[in-house]
Amino acid sequence: MLDIKFIRENPEIVKENIRKKFQDQKLPLVDEVIALDAENRAAIAEAQELRTQRNMLSKEVGKLMGQAKKDPSKLEEAEAVKAQVKAQADRLAELEQKETELAEKIRKILLVIPNIIDPSVPIGPDDSCNVEVQRFGEAKIPEFDIPYHVDLMERFGGIDLDAAGRVSGNGFYYLLGDIARLHEAVLAYGRDFMIGKGFTYCIPPFMIHGNVVEGVMSQTDMDAMMYKIEGEDLYLIGTSEHSMIGRFIDQILPEENLPQTLTSYSPCFRKEKGAHGIEERGVYRIHQFEKQEMIVVCRPEESKDWYEKLWQYSVELFRSLDIPVRQLECCSGDLADLKVKSCDIEAWSPRQQKYFEVCSCSNLGDAQARRLKIRYRDENGKIQLCHTLNNTCVAPPRMLIAFLENNLQADGSVKIPEVLRPYMGGKEFLEKV
């Protein structure tokens, strides 16, 4: 969310940014919100002037009423001034109502105008224009066939989609045995990996209020993703980023407490509204999954460095599990409205012979902080907005697809990388059931 003052002073920069995001339908909103802001500021100024006059006239009424005790002619003058005070009070009430209505209109438009993207972001209308930056690890194609991931999990007695369909419908699953254990092992390893990087482990609330949802994501994403609890002001989180950033709502943090570096575990719930493949047999796109996340709340001058650190942590983690990955820079049209800059880390799929997304790293600048009033007091005592960043650490079961495919052996077993063995009871291989 942009500062209305910035929009007022830089309308052409804001419009050009909208064009770069291929959202030309939003261009009229810039002039509209500037006009509403001018009207609102005029109302505020008039109201302030009326309050000043009312205070002066109220004192005058008191003075005249005192004089009327000695001079009855002053009573009529006092009543005239009282009538003037009443008229001003009525006008002030109108202005205050107008201020409230205008402020709400302005707020709704500000929630829709996209954040200013970083100059380094490639320009393009959709994810087909995302740019590969670099690869890590050799993307190998084995000489033996690799089964579809569900068939692979079934070899180990590790998944039951049919029962999940009867119980919950499409987009749900049961994980069993060694596959379920592997699922938890990957999450535990991701947790300890981030703790080793100096992050504080956290388990957040899995439901949040609507004002927090509005603060952390765009309305479009909210409608497409979030499940609402009927009859309550509560939503199931789509990622722990939502409640983790919400933790700092309306807070002024001491500068010495920054940066806040947190790694959080949560289940995640998503409608996947309009998502392709939700009806397919598999666990690539689902309504419920678990995730370990990285969250940073920092000073503005630190956010670019933290962005680089976060995606590099993802690369390091996946390479430690023998999974080749690449970094993909997201183009302007593929960025959510709150994001300044974002990249995906994609894992290699030997079966499909292509990469697919397993992590998403984002710098949101001060957009979430402005909406949620997350601030800090700098060394000069001035209140400043923080910057917020997030990145996926690991998100099974999607991550398991990459793990199983890349560690599958010719005899049908799956090799357990050394770093994961302590979480699997020392096992070196998964053997077929």
Token pair listed for 358: 């397993």
Q: With CA atoms as reference, report the closest residue to 386 among 398, 367, 372, 369.
A: 369
Q: What is the DSSP letter of 268?
A: E
Task: Supply φ then ψ for residue 90, to 5 degrees.
Answer: -65, -45
**Residue 253 contacts by C-beta under 8 Å, 6 or more apart in sequence?**
260, 297, 374, 375, 376, 377, 386
Give the separation between CA 162 and CA 172, rounded to whole angstroms. 9
Give the separation between CA 15 and CA 411, rounded to whole angstroms. 59
- Region at 63 (left for phi over 0; alpha for psi -120 to 50; beta for the rest): alpha
Whether 330 and 206 have beta carbons less than 8 Å apart is answered as: no
Give the separation between CA 163 and CA 389, rounded to whole angstroms. 38
**CA Rg value for the chain:** 28
> Catalytic positions, please?
270, 285, 357, 360, 398
Give the separation between CA 369 and CA 189, rounded to whole angstroms. 30
3-state secondary structure of 308: helix
Beta bridge pairs of residue 136: 325
Give the separation between CA 129 and CA 56, rounded to whole angstroms. 64
What does each C-alpha distance from 345 to 75, 80, 323, 428 come to in angstroms? 80, 74, 11, 27
Q: How many CB atoms lie within 10 A of CB 253?
A: 17
Q: What is the DSSP letter of 123?
A: P
3-state secondary structure of 140: coil
Cβ-in-10-Å burial (0-12, 13-18, 19+) of 135 comes to middle
